[in-house]
Amino acid sequence: MSRTALLIVLLPLALALQQQPDLVHVDAGTIRGNIDAASGTRSFLGIPFAAPPVGNLRWQSPQPVQPWLGVLNTTKFSAACLQPPGTNDDLSDLPYGTPVSEDCLYLNVYTPYPVPSTHLPIMVFVHGGSFMFGSAMDAEYNGAHIASLTRDVIVVVVNYRLNVFGFLASAVLKQQSPDGSAGNYGLQDQRFALQWVKRNAAAFGGNSNLVTLFGESAGSASVALHLLSPLSTGLYHRAILQSGAFSSWIATTFNSSVAKYIAVASIVGCCPTSSCSDSDPAVLACLRATDAYTLLATIGSVPTSDGGVNKIEWNFVIDGVEVLGDPLTLAAAGAINNVPVLLGSNGDEGTIFSTFPATLNAAEYDYAINEVFGPQLGPLLLAQYPLSAYPDSYQASARLIGEMMFNCPARQSAKWMVQGRANLLHPQPVYVYFFNYTSELTKQIAPQLGSFHGSELYLVFDDAQYLVTPQEVQLGKAMVSLWTMFAKTGVPSASGRHHMAEYSMETQLVSTLDVGSIVTYTSHWKEANCDFWNAVGYPNY
């Protein structure tokens, strides 16, 4: 086709896109989104960023989406990735009736409207849910609230494969993979989405060279692994980790994942004999031909990662390609990408994870701790977290679990980052926050939860239905400003008055976020208990 003929074909499309701001041309075709003039936002929902990972593409790296002709309506959410109908906490539960599907590699884009002439920073969010649950379609991840409030960032929220579909590994999967990877399809999906953002940022008014990757819980752990992966370098330029840093629960050994593979194959009838092999192509072919819901039904019946007391059935796999080694060992060795990082945790992280009743007496509490953590670690934990120091056995166990899984790993991760960058010519800053506010709704409905795991999300995404007092609204707007200013400049600040402290080995300042003062500083935060965990090691839970 001649240059003139090509211009004749493309000119009407270019004019239509210019005149219709609900139309955007991405690399696979043209999409139509929603314009909400009242809130001043555009939203493009359910944009396909990869081919459906079904059939022979099940347990393969994400592949390019097939281009389409005409205009694709992206005005409604796509299906969530396949997952069970309920979880142990409301934050991960899908709203009733939310469709789920193996065909789920879609993302949502939220922009201000009208779009400013300058290219805006982009914030890409990875949802949590224990690697088993959750979706970009969850109401608490509505990026329109951020885009409307700040008017100067674009928010992208991504789906990625979960549970048995996202984290299953075997020898034959490694053999069939072009790069020898296996078991980290969820991580690869996230990177594929980041690559999509890089290619298509300008079409939405975004700056592909100013991307902040942020996530919560399992999504935060995902961000941590991208910080360790050379394959993700250059696709993001800042990182925010909310309640999930370099921790023992974020990755498992390859052999542990193989045990899950064999268990799944046996349950669904793909292992005709007791000597099932994870290197047998026939077993893999059988698994790929198995109905997706049959596979989904196996996820609570497979061995937990590396045994012990770990209750995370699915997580990333140390395959030597996507995850090069034990994340804690890599982080301690300074293998963390040198970008500005904001990380932190909440005051009552363990309350939604503890299964201890509040009514245990001292003898029963001692027995329960020893039963869960074993005869070697149990007595040490009882000395560090005695029942007498807490209101009841539930609160004691919740504090133990929260500091073990989230608070102290955040502190240690910050130290590894600062120490690993000490000799660099241009070390990037690290900021540590501690969210310590219990919302009015929580006080009314479930006061024992406190500032529970994930409760900061309602403020980070400025979800007005959960912010019922003027002080909460003020804190929410300040947190949105802190997060988005970090995305724009690499320094978290709000209204020119509230600034987080840069973390250093000398001061070890942690910025506490709460109503009233918004930001206050604590030096050597949780030092005694976190030094204890560093000494005894972090068990899987």
CATH code for position 140: 3.40.50.1820
Q: 271: alpha, beta or left, given left = phi > 0 and alpha = psi -120 to 50?
A: beta
Q: Does residue 25 share a domain with residue 166?
A: yes
Q: Does residue 195 share a domain with residue 93?
A: yes
**Residue where a domain terminates, one of 293, 308, 337:** 337
> Is-catalytic flag, 217?
yes
Q: Is residue 386 part of a domain?
A: no
Q: Does residue 166 share a domain with residue 47?
A: yes
The CA dihedral of 297, 300, 301, 305, to the nearest 10 degrees, is: 130
Beta-sheet pairing, 80-81 with 34-36: unpaired
Task: Given the residues 222, 453, 481, 511, select the one marked as catalytic.
Answer: 453
Q: Does residue 201 share a domain with residue 136?
A: yes
Residue located via tokens 């509490």: 365
pLDDT score recorded for residue 497: 83
Query: Are 250 and 224 contacting, i.e. CB atoms less than 8 angstroms apart?
Result: yes
> Is-catalytic flag, 349?
yes
Task: Given the residues 170, 217, 229, 439, select the one marked as catalytic.
Answer: 217
CB atoms within 10 A of CB 527: 13
Q: Does residue 327 share a domain with residue 400?
A: no
Query: Are 317 and 232 contacting, i.e. CB atoms less than 8 angstroms apart?
Result: no
What is the rounded CA–CA span in Å between residue 199 and residue 196? 5
Closest among 153, 215, 158 to 190, alpha carbons compared: 158
Q: Does residue 402 share a domain with residue 314?
A: no
Range of the domain at 51: 21-337
What is the rounded CA–CA span in Å between residue 227 and residue 209? 17
Q: Is residue 77 part of a domain?
A: yes
Q: Is residue 506 part of a domain?
A: yes
Q: Is residue 237 part of a domain?
A: yes
Q: Is residue 360 part of a domain?
A: no
CB atoms within 10 A of CB 526: 18
Q: Does residue 295 share a domain with residue 402?
A: no
**Residue where a domain terminates, one of 322, 337, 352:** 337
Q: Is residue 93 part of a domain?
A: yes
Contact residues for 490 (Cβ-Cβ < 8 A; gap 6+)? 238, 340, 428, 429
What is the rounded CA–CA span in Å between residue 80 and residue 82? 6
Task: Given the residues 349, 403, 456, 472, select the one marked as catalytic.
Answer: 349
**Residue where a domain terminates, one of 313, 337, 361:** 337
Q: Is residue 162 part of a domain?
A: yes
What is the rounded CA–CA span in Å between residue 479 and residue 146? 10
Mean pLDDT (10-residue bins), the chain, 541 residues? 48 55 96 95 97 97 97 96 68 68 98 90 96 91 93 96 96 96 98 98 97 98 98 98 94 93 94 86 97 92 56 85 96 97 98 96 97 94 97 97 97 97 95 97 96 96 88 95 97 89 95 95 94 88 60
Q: Does residue 201 share a domain with residue 305?
A: yes
What is the rounded CA–CA span in Å between residue 370 and residue 154? 49
What is the rounded CA–CA span in Å between residue 453 and residue 541? 15
> Is-catalytic flag, 493?
no
Tokens of 146: 């951020």
Q: Is residue 164 part of a domain?
A: yes
Q: Does residue 123 share a domain with residue 54?
A: yes
Q: How many domains does the chain have?
A: 2
